[in-house]
Structure formats: C-alpha cells, structure tokens
Structure 1
Amino acid sequence: MSVPTRLSTAISRQAARQTLPAVRAAPLGVQQQKRTRADASTSHAEFNSPFTRGTSGKKDTTVIPSFKKYRSGSETNNKVFQYFMVGAFGGLSALGAKNTVQDFLVNMSASADVLAQAKVEVDLASIPEGKNVIIKWRGKPVFIRHRTADEIKEADETKWESLRDPQADSERVKKPEWLIMLGVCTHLGCVPIGEAGDFGGWFCPCHGSHYDISGRIRKGPAPLNLEVPEYDFPEDTSLVIG
C-alpha cells in the first residue's frame, strides 16, 4: 500500500471516530426527551394512600385505616354477646365437672351391705345391771357392761396416774353405768373373758393380760387399755355404735 493511500485511510478513520459519539448521543437524547414527555403527561395523576396525614403527602406508618364499615352492630351488643357466651360455656363446664366428681364419689363410696354394718343400734333395756353383752360390729366383738354402783366407785377411786396406760374412768365412758369397749386384746388381738382376772374386769387367757372394771390394763403383756369405739345415746335406753 502506497503512502498516499495510507494517509487517506488514516484521515477517514479519524473523522469516523469524531462523528461516532455524536451519532450515539442522538438516541439517548431522544429517549430522554420521550421520558420527559411521559412524565409530563402523567404528572397530574394523584393517589391518596391511607397511610398519609393531611395534605402534606408525608408518609406516616402509624396511621391505621378505618374499618367502621366492616363492623356488625354496635360495640355494646358485641360485648353482651361475648359475655353471654363466656358465661354459658363456664356454666356448662362447671356442671360437667360437678357430675364427673359426683359419679366418681358414688362409685368410690361404700356398698349397701358395708353401710349396714357401719352402725349398730342396741336396746339397753334388755341388759340387766351387773351383766355383760357381746355384740358384733364391723367384724369385731364389742363389750357392753351395765356397771353397778360399786363398780363405778371402784373405777373412780383407782389411781389411774400410775397405770401403764394412764386414763381416767370419766374419759372412757359417757354415762358411768354403761361401759362400751372393743373386745380385742391390745397385745395380740385375742378376745378377753368377762368378769375374770385379778381386778374383776376382763382376762385374756392367751398371754395373761388383766383388765379392770374400766377396761384399763393392770397386769400382763398388753401395752394399752381396751379401745373405746365411737358411740352415742340417742335415747336413754338406746345405744348406737359407729
């Protein structure tokens, strides 16, 4: 390639480089012009956001939209209905709990035959003075003694403070003439014999325990006095044990 050719080629390339930015800039200007026109055509549109305060257009995210048109009835009626439903469900729950507890207690309670043995009524008019009667209560023998005046005096004059199981006669009887005790020896559970022993009361032949006329242990291996059960006198001639 000759020198003049090379020179003309270089001049052409230099001219092309100078005109290329102008050509490229033209479309950007057109686009910018189009965007400006679009913005100008929609600048009058407005959007009222529920999260704006007043006419300043400043956003405030603490503003809560109003939902009044979605409410059903007044606030007082709604509260009355809610209170009624809570009270109704509470009453039904309490009733169900009561029935459950009642059924459980009925199932756990004693049967009729057991309740029949829970209390025993005795006619005291049939027991003469100075005699013993043995009855059965809850599977255990019960001694009923109609004491004489001399026996009551003897029981009262005994120095009970020095006994193995110290207990006054007045603490063991509700009526001085009637002595009611369980007929079970406090040693090994044998049944003592009435009107026997060294003290005129009861004697256990199994191991030689002697009880006085008040049922207190006076001699032998038994550690305690004969037990006094729960009893009452609904009438003068009637005794209820249990």
Structure 2
Amino acid sequence: MSDTTTTENEELPTRRDFIYVATGMLGVIGAASVAWPFIDQMRPDAAVLAAGQPIDVNLEAVEPGQAITVTWRGKPYFVRRLTEDEIASASELGEGDMKEFAPIETRLGGEEVKDWVIVSANCTHLGCVPKVIDTKPEGWNCPCHGSVFDMTGRILRGPAATNLPLPPYVFTSATNLVIGTDQA
C-alpha cells in the first residue's frame, strides 16, 4: 500500500464546484451594483451639506449702533455692534426688569469684542422677525405681538417667554465672525 492513494470519501474540487462559486460571486457583485444607487441616493446633496456649514461674516463695515442680518442654516440672525451708551443702558437693567434674566456678559461677544451681540432674529413667541429700534435699553420690538427685547436680546416684556437664542460663534479676529462653530 502506498501513501499517495486517496480514500473514496475525499472529494476533489471539480469544475462544477468552481462554477458554483463563480456564479455566487457574480450574484453578490450584481446585487451590490443594483443596491448601491439606492443607498447612495439617501446621502444629502451638496446644497444640503453647505446649508449647515459655518459662515464667515466680515464686520469691517458695521459701525457702532448698527445692526445687520445674516442667514445661517436658512434662519436669520442679528449681528449688532453696540455703542458705549447702549452697553451702559443694557447693563443698568436688573433681574426685575426682564422675564428671563441673563447677565449682560453672557450675551456679548467676548473679551476682545465686548461690543458685539449675535442673536437669533426670530422672536421666541411665534417666530416673527423683530424690528430694530433705537430706544435705549430696548433693542428689538416684535411688530406682530409686541414682545420687546433689550440691546442684547433679553426679553423685557410681551408674550415671548425666553431671550433671543445665541448661535454658536467665534471671532477669528476683531473684524471677522464665524457663525456655526464654537472653535477657531
């Protein structure tokens, strides 16, 4: 008896086994190529991705006492540069003067840019867009329902229950603002 003989129970790969494996692999590749367009169409397109991206706002042309409106993620935001008188007037307001108290320091831009206010431009009552007014300490007035906010977006009176929200933002320089991020 020689050691090179095979037993009857051992099966050697045949041409038929190869055809089964090759057909199975082609079926998997075919199914994946059919499924990929359906999976790929579920990803957001470039316009949707860009809508959530941070925006850069150049503030060089904004004078003290002036407010501009910018759009981020399809919503308006007020960017207002306060004068020294407006900051002093808003600082005089106490806890009893507003519905939702917030210290003025939490509403202003930061250490180097203390004269900037960046707030949502939608009233917290029903989403109307308040109008800028120049009566100190009042800064915005909602013409629809009469809510009045101070220069920093804190609610003074009216049906709105909360202050104008602050978006995430960072100043990359004294004249450049990035809305939509809290990191430089």
Question: TM-score range with shorter-chain normalisation?
Answer: 0.5 to 0.7
Q: Deviations over 1:65-122 (max 9, x none)?
A: xxxxxxxxxxxxxxxxxxxxxxxxxxxxxxxxxxxxxxxxx98764322232221110
* 3-state secondary structure, aligned to 1:187: coil
Q: How far is 1:162 from its partner?
A: 5.5
More helix by share: 1
Q: Deviations over 1:21-49 (max 9, x none)?
A: xxxxxxxxxxxxxxxxxxxxxxxxxxxxx
Distance in 2, matches of 1:128 and 1:149, equals 12
What residue is the counterpart of 2:99 in the other structure? Answer: 164
2:139, 2:150 within 8 Å by CA — same for their partners in 1? yes
* 3-state secondary structure, aligned to 2:49: helix
Q: How far is 1:231 from its partner?
A: 0.4
**What stretches of structure 1 of length at least 5 have no aligned partner?**
1-105
Letter in 2 for 1:217: I
- Does 1 or 2 have the higher relative contact order (CA < 8 Å, sep 6+)? 2
Q: How does 1:1-242 map to 2 (within 5 A)?
A: 110-118=44-52, 119-160=54-95, 163-175=98-110, 176-195=114-133, 199-242=137-180
Distance in 2, matches of 1:130 and 1:162, equals 22
Q: Which has the larger radius of gyration?
A: 1
Distance in 1, matches of 2:116 and 2:142, equals 21
1:197, 1:210 within 8 Å by CA — same for their partners in 2? no
* 3-state secondary structure, aligned to 2:119: strand
Letter in 2 for 1:156: S
Q: How far is 1:200 from its partner?
A: 2.7
Identity %: 42
User: Pairwise CA RMSD of aligned residues?
Assistant: 2.3
Taking structure 1 as reference, are residues 108 and 215 closer, same or farther at Cα in structure 2, changes over 3 Å only?
Answer: same
Count of residue correspondences: 139
What residue is the counterpart of 1:68 in the other structure? Answer: none
Q: How far is 1:236 from its partner?
A: 1.7
Distance in 2, matches of 1:221 and 1:236, equals 36
* 3-state secondary structure, aligned to 1:232: strand
Taking structure 1 as reference, are residues 223 and 198 closer, same or farther at Cα in structure 2, changes over 3 Å only?
Answer: farther
Letter in 2 for 1:164: K
What residue is the counterpart of 1:44 in the other structure? Answer: none
More strand by share: 2
Taking structure 1 as reference, are residues 110 and 167 closer, same or farther at Cα in structure 2, changes over 3 Å only?
Answer: farther
- When structure 1 is superposed on structure 2, of 191-200 and 116-125 the one drifting more is 191-200
**What stretches of structure 2 of length at least 5 have no aligned partner?**
1-39
Distance in 2, matches of 1:198 and 1:156, equals 11
TM-score by length of 1: 0.52
Distance in 1, matches of 2:174 and 2:134, equals 29
Q: How far is 1:237 from its partner?
A: 1.0
Letter in 1 for 2:109: K
Taking structure 1 as reference, are residues 127 and 202 closer, same or farther at Cα in structure 2, changes over 3 Å only?
Answer: same
Taking structure 1 as reference, are residues 200 and 166 closer, same or farther at Cα in structure 2, changes over 3 Å only?
Answer: closer
* 3-state secondary structure, aligned to 2:88: helix
